[in-house]
A and B are shown apart, each in its own frame.
Chain A
């Protein structure tokens, strides 16, 4: 099937999460990706869990398997002279190069943008780093938690009486994968038209500061009027949403988000339409009566489970949603019906269910053409394509170049 990005060739030198996820999004929509890994150990994500059957093995990392679908993997030692020569041969034939080396590494390898653009004038190079290629923090170390601390709204996350808290682990790294993919495709759209390459300096700290998970709006708020956005006890959201915060339901939780204007509909859903005339609830935003309304909702919940609570409430137009575990949502009918989950067969793990298409296009969209590569799986195919013989490959292997 001709996919939307079938004509795009990408060389992916990145590792861990952000770069590989950026490349995966493009690969899943058709781009041909050659993923270059270090001989021997490969992408460090191969050493990170969760592992299939909890067996730590470089071909069984769920993280790696998920992030590297549709890529052809090769190994190459970039520090060797021959490795550098081969990389340049690969660069001359691609549209996009993605890397996530620490700033300065590509320059030291003789693979700076200024060098590579001489080989390939239409190259779009995306360099992903924690803090960018310039500036005083350029060489600082970071990770998911620290990136959120410095670039995101972490100081606003959690409750006032406790320390600020991270979101789901690594989610900010994935979010940056989305942003980097958008940057890469955006710039390439221009290069596709004018044939002039470009270098994207993608700083994770900046991307999070300029992106829309609360931070950018909170930053502008400070600039407009000096207000910071402190951590907030979710109970205080009662002013905007009724009833108060989350509710325990059997062994689970549900989250109602009903705006005051929807109070009559909510009262009806509770089977108590007369409550709108109850003097206690004349002003439904009045937090001093919050407890009364919460008790009524709790009583209505009774021993219903969260599916029953939410489907009954939603069918009557009230915004009550379950707080699901990963298992709950993998088993839920909605995304099954939409065909979101995909089954992928892989030589080391057999068939497994993976998250699938983020965007359902009606023409030329998402497809899994191959599972994540075994380490060096495509060496022969890719290097022979460049004109190397089987004998050359044996020599390169012996010299630990591949």
Chain B
């Protein structure tokens, strides 16, 4: 039985930047909302359509570092800001327009756009909207039923409101960095994880839908003050509950576990690893069978789950001796056949070749004007009746200006040409934009 898209007929304007906001806007677009991304040709939102808007080609020619900001064939091209991975991976199903909000006429057009908008979402530092005089009150003047979601890292009140920093800084403040380490004794090996961008992106999407549902019932729009940090904190709940209940400060466990014996073990080849976890005697017996019951497994150090935890280092050494000569996929298969949780650390290449992700058609092909045809990471879940499709490829800067300004806002051809001439709108960043 075919369904319509859940958010069909809902219009979202997204002034979102970097990871979380664009991810959220994409989820709303996947669900059927008409998402209009709002940008300006006068300013590139830091690290959103590239580290900078037009990076020099030398930065990428021989750059094999990977990361979030890459270009097809390591070529930045004529329109680098339409070709960058971080932007494009969160770009499907969206429209994109440009508008200069720093001038009065831009704000007037913005207000007209708000009149036909259901939800406005943004995740800038609080100062950005302040600068343009954009706030909930002015939106309500334009559209009393509007829903506005503001999602900076720390929220719109409190002493950290205007603190500077990136998602990774916020994760440090919230104690995630402290707990995600080899050891809490030395934090100099930290990896900049971005879990908050995922939870914050989901939080923005949930907030939009919950506020919309509330409006369907009550007729009232609302303002949502969404501190993205607060979406991550419940995910560290065990640490907070331990402190709350016992006054204990939990520390990082590396790859270890409070109950099981587990680790990340080296396999054959260059930088190949497998994660294995053994949480009870049954799994231990399966593990021993998978190895062919070698002598070391019957050592009394490893006979019960307590002694195995006591001799964890010893155990790790023995496991590594076994895994290090073998292919990680062979080890996974062998252990899983015996009921032991085990899985290889998939490189990007492994993921693209993975038989399971292939079987489930996880990757989706998208053709976009500036990058050609590529396989993109697809939808994070599958539905059986609700359609999941790519209706639009990742949008170029200002690609849908004509649609939004002429068709939706009824701006005349003459006025539109004037807006272009006066650089209110456009499809290229101005030459001095970084």
Contact = CB atoms under 8 A, between A and B. Distances in A.
Contact of B241 (A25, A62, A224, A261): A62
A291 interface: no
Interface stretch (A72-80, A86-94, A333-341, A385-393): A333-341
Contacts of A325: 175, 178, 184, 249
A334 B158 contact: yes
A203 B164 CA distance: 36
A268 to B, nearest CB: 14
Given A134-B360, A199-B385, A162 B243 contact: no
Contact of A213 (B85, B197, B340): B197
A167 B206 contact: no
Nearest to B379: A210
Contacts of A63: 237-238, 241
Contact of A220 (B154, B250, B252, B376): B376
B188 A234 contact: yes
Contacts of A5: 210, 213
Contact of A326 (B181, B213, B230, B249): B249
Contacts of B385: 196-199
Contacts of B89: 216-217, 219-220
Given A155-B273, A186-B205, A213-B198, A196 B255 contact: no
B90 A212 contact: yes
Contacts of A137: 356
Given A62-B241, A253-B187, A182 B360 contact: no
Contacts of A67: 237
Given A175-B198, A190-B386, A146 B277 contact: yes
Interface in A121-171: 131-132, 134-137, 140-151, 153-159, 162-171
Nearest to A201: B382
Nearest to B358: A135
Interface residues of B, number: 166
B197 A207 contact: no
A212 B23 contact: yes
Contacts of A209: 351, 357, 362, 377, 380
B192 interface: yes
Contacts of A215: 377
Contacts of A199: 383-385
A16 to B, nearest CB: 12
A178 interface: yes
Contact of A352 (B90, B159, B170, B244): B244
A168 B237 contact: no
Interface in A299-315: 314
A169 B253 contact: yes
A241 B388 CA distance: 39
Interface string A290-302: 0000000000000
A399 interface: no
Contact of B231 (A52, A178, A229, A232): A178
A178 B187 CA distance: 28
A333 B154 CA distance: 12
A326 B192 CA distance: 18
B86 interface: yes
B381 A136 contact: no
B194 interface: yes
B347 A228 contact: yes
Nearest to A133: B382
A174 B237 contact: yes
A174 to B, nearest CB: 3
A264 to B, nearest CB: 15
B19 A330 contact: no
A212 B223 contact: no
B277 A143 contact: yes
Contact of B3 (A196, A203, A333): A196
Contact of A165 (B168, B191, B244, B332): B191
A15 interface: no
A309 B15 CA distance: 33
Given A329-B174, A359-B226, A363-B222, A180 B355 contact: no
A178 B198 contact: yes
Contacts of A288: none
B343 A149 contact: yes
Nearest to A210: B380
A355 B65 contact: no
A333 B397 CA distance: 41
Nearest to A310: B163
Interface string B212-246: 11101110101111110111011111111111111
Nearest to A317: B164
Contacts of A50: 238, 241-242, 245-246, 248, 250
A152 B189 CA distance: 19
A137 B337 CA distance: 11
A159 B181 CA distance: 10
Given A200-B382, A319-B165, A340-B230, A189 B31 contact: yes
Interface in A2-23: 2, 4-5, 7, 21
B179 A168 contact: yes
Contacts of A141: 336, 339-342
Contacts of B7: 186, 189-190
B359 A134 contact: yes
B369 to A, nearest CB: 15
A230 B348 CA distance: 10
Contacts of B332: 140
Contacts of A196: 1, 3, 385
A360 B225 contact: yes
Given A338-B158, A361-B224, A230 B271 contact: yes
B359 to A, nearest CB: 4
A113 interface: yes
A335 B157 CA distance: 9
A143 B264 CA distance: 13
A326 B242 contact: yes
Contacts of B252: 168
A225 B156 CA distance: 40
A361 B336 contact: no
B210 A29 contact: yes
A237 interface: yes
Contacts of B168: 255, 257
B72 A113 contact: no
A155 B241 contact: no
B187 A323 contact: yes
A287 interface: no
Contacts of B205: 182, 186
A214 B69 CA distance: 11
5 contacts: A4-B213, A167-B193, A227-B348, A235-B188, A364-B210
Among all A-B residue pairs, the 5 with the closest Cβ atoms: A190-B6, A229-B66, A62-B241, A222-B348, A174-B235
Given A62-B245, A65-B241, A326-B175, 17 more contacts: A62-B244, A67-B237, A140-B332, A146-B276, A155-B271, A166-B253, A171-B176, A182-B202, A211-B198, A213-B197, A229-B348, A314-B162, A326-B239, A337-B157, A354-B244, A361-B210, A363-B218
